[in-house]
Every structure is written in structure tokens, then in C-alpha cells.
Amino acid sequence: MTPGVQRADAGGPGRRLVWQDEFAGPAGTFPDRASWSAELGAGGWGNGELQTYTDAAANVALDGEGHLVLSARAGGDGAWTSARITTSGRRTVRAGLVEVRARVPSGVGIWPAAWTLGQDIEQVGWPRCGEMDVIESVGDARVALQTAHGPRGYFARWQSGPVTPVGVPLSAAFHT
């Protein structure tokens, strides 16, 4: 299976594939702009993140072999850059199976993730819009996290999901 491709048989018989991205395109280019846009900026993004998000090819680009590569880079001034991309406003899935095939980095301070947010986030905010983390891994990439987040009361939130130890670190190979 090509990285970035959702299996057509995903979820069993009777399920219809509604979208997939094979990340086809020349090396060094941004993924298909009909599906993806970059979120640009800095300032913590709710998690105290230190990097500035860019759409520079050094931070987000296809590798020409069916992979999307997101990279964090240290600048000479000690500042970090990385990339954060979204399908918001371009792709919406109401129901179904969401898969990600990825090889995630590992290391101190690393927190790679792929997640879905409710399309009404601009109107109702987070966590009221809902969030489902398809994959997250922190640190040494030996644990896969999948979490659902939602509202509880006016300012509180809830979350629930498995913490799954993995035999082969998520950084060592592609995993679906």
C-alpha cells in the first residue's frame, strides 16, 4: 500500500471511500491545494508550542515518492520552524473511517499528530466542535494515542481514548 492512501476496502464491505490523498507530485512541492492549506504563525497554538508554522518547502513538501514530509527545523538564531496543514474548508467527512499511514518522528519535545476537528470550530470553538485524534505520539514514539475530545459544561472538556504501546516504534516504519 502506498503511504498516504486509504484502502478502498477500509472498514469492510458496503463502506464507500469518500476521499484519499496519495501525495503524488514532484518533490519539493506543497500537497494538492484543492485539499490542503497551511496554517501560518506562532504564539503557542494552545499547547505552548515554540515553533513558527510556515508553508516553506523546508517544512512541508512532497518527496516525489508518495510521501508528505513535515519537518521541524532549528534556525541559526535558535528559533524553530515547522508546518501545520489542514483540510478545513476543503474536505469534510460526516461519517466513516479515517485512516492515516505515517511514520512519526521521536525525540524529546516531539509531539506529532493527525486529528480531525468539527467543521463548526469557527462558530463554536474548541472543544465544543469536537476533536478526534487519529494518531499522536509523544517522546520515544513507543505509544500510539487516539483520543476523542468534547465539551463538558460551559468551560470544561472531556477526553477519552486508548493509549496503545507499540512493539516497533512509530518512528521506525510506516504504520496505519
- 99 as an active site residue: the answer is no
Residue 175 amino acid letter? H
Helix (H) or strand (E) holding 122: helix 121-124
Report whether pLDDT(7) > 70.
no
Cell of 88: 478545513
Judge whether 71 and 81 are in contact, CB under 8 Å: no
In percent, the amount of the chain with pLDDT more than 90 equals 59
Report whether pLDDT(1) > 90.
no
Judge whether 40 and 53 are in contact, CB under 8 Å: yes
pLDDT recorded at residue 44: 75
Residue 46 amino acid letter? G
For the chain, the domains span: 1-99, 100-176
157 or 158: which leads in pLDDT = 158
Q: Which CATH class is domain 1-99?
A: mainly beta
- 122 as an active site residue: the answer is no
The single residue of 22, 49, 99, 131 carrying the catalytic annotation is 131
Torsion angle (degrees, nearest 10) of CA 171, 173, 174, 176: -80
Report whether pLDDT(158) > 80.
yes
Alpha carbons 130 and 148: distance in angstroms, whole number: 7
pTM as predicted: 0.83
69-93 pLDDT per residue, tens: 999 999 888 889 999 999 999 988 8
Q: What is the DSSP letter of 123?
A: H
Lowest mean pLDDT among 40-44, 51-55, 147-151: 40-44
